[in-house]
Amino acid sequence: MRPMSRISIPLLFCLTIGFQIVNSFAAMGQERDGLRVAFWNFENFFDPFVDSTRVYNEFTENGGQHWTKSRFYKKRNNMYKAILAISGNEPLAVLGIAEIENQYVLNSLFNQTPLKTHNYRIIHYEGDDKRGIDVAMVYCIDKLQLIYTEPVKVKNPKNKNYKTRDILYAKFYDRRGDTLHVFVNHWPSRYDGERETIKLRALAANTLKHKVDSLVFLHQTIPKIIIMGDFNDTPEDSSIHDILCDGAVLVNLFTNGKNLGFEGTLKHQYTWQIFDQIIVSNSLIDNDKGLIYKKNSAQIFHGDFLFEKDESFGGVKLFRTYVGPKYYGGYSDHLPVYIDLIFK
């Protein structure tokens, strides 16, 4: 598959392709009475403007990535069409997002495209990441009512100057009065080596575990919790398997790759890995009333338009916005994930 950015396509054909993207997964649409919860790492969704308050300005017209307004708008339009496909053209209840720069890009995506008809609201805090990328959360006001939100800082007791991305927390009521706690994560990457960064992801895991334990203690029962994100670790790695999901509270829905519709959420050379996951409290599974997890609904979204042919390692690879400094005009270096909740 050739990246669409390399082809000159008449406007009518572009509109037709966009329509096909939105409707290609209509059969996978969510139940109208249920809630679809999704997560996606957007891969460096920056605005094209210079930020004089930051050292990192590579995603600008004169920066190293030559990020122009036209490239920004192409990325935005790619993302909104993909989000409509993920949701089956219905509003998502919650979408967790990683790698966005600021409120501007979120407003442009959710308030200045066809997504604006879905009554989304944005939750975002400026974090401490050195490149200026944050996590965010978008929710539909027709499906959920926001009660409380806060950014959870990940601190390193051995390094007071340590800075990383926040964990975003929000508390909602659904339309039947059930309470839902949601966390969005983007844990430290493996850029400096997997072994060299294990302790940093363990810090994030312990921070989140402490927050979950606090909710259990406060409620004196296991509340309904959804944890999602790009963890930069697989379900079998220590940060998730041994620290976060070490007891009877949390269940990782992305441990069995055979049931997820696709073999991974990102690719390194020949190998697909599951770094993007959704973890829920067992109260969303082992329950006979209220909001519950729809069995076997955990999926890796894998629309054909998100891929291109992998000439180097075989099969397909993700149709990315950039590979290093080279612009391709695609979507992301990660696949989205989602689950469905239903009322019982």
pTM above 0.85, yes or no: yes
The answer on pLDDT for 18 being more than 70 is no
Give the tokens for residue 341.
Answer: 């909740």
Backbone φ and ψ of 164, nearest 5°: -150, -175
Region 207-231: what's the mean pLDDT?
97
Predicted local distance difference test score (pLDDT) of residue 17? 45
Q: State the chain's mean pLDDT as an integer.
A: 92
Dist CA 231 CA 117 (whole Å): 31
**Token code pair at residue 237:** 């790695």
pLDDT in tens, 75-131: 999 999 999 999 998 999 999 999 999 999 999 999 999 999 999 999 999 999 999
Q: Give the mean pLDDT of 155-163.
A: 94
pLDDT level of residue 30 (50, 70, 90 thresholds): low
**Would you say residue 16 has pLDDT above 60?**
no
Partners of residue 168 on adjacent β-strands: 151, 184
d(CA 36, CA 29): 9
pLDDT exceeds cutoff 70 at 202? yes
Helix (H) / strand (E) containing 141: none
Asked if residue 239 has pLDDT above 90, the reply is yes
Sign (positive or negative) of CA dihedral 195, 197, 200, 206:
negative
pLDDT band at 28 (very low <50, low <70, confident <90, very high): low
Q: Which residues pair with 151 in a beta bridge?
A: 168
Residue 273: pLDDT over 70: yes
- Asked if pLDDT for residue 5 goes beyond 90, the answer is no
Name all domains of the chain by residue range, CATH numbers in brackets. Answer: 36-343 (3.60.10.10)
Type of residue found at 33: D
pLDDT value, residue 52: 85
Contact 42, 99 (CB under 8 A): yes
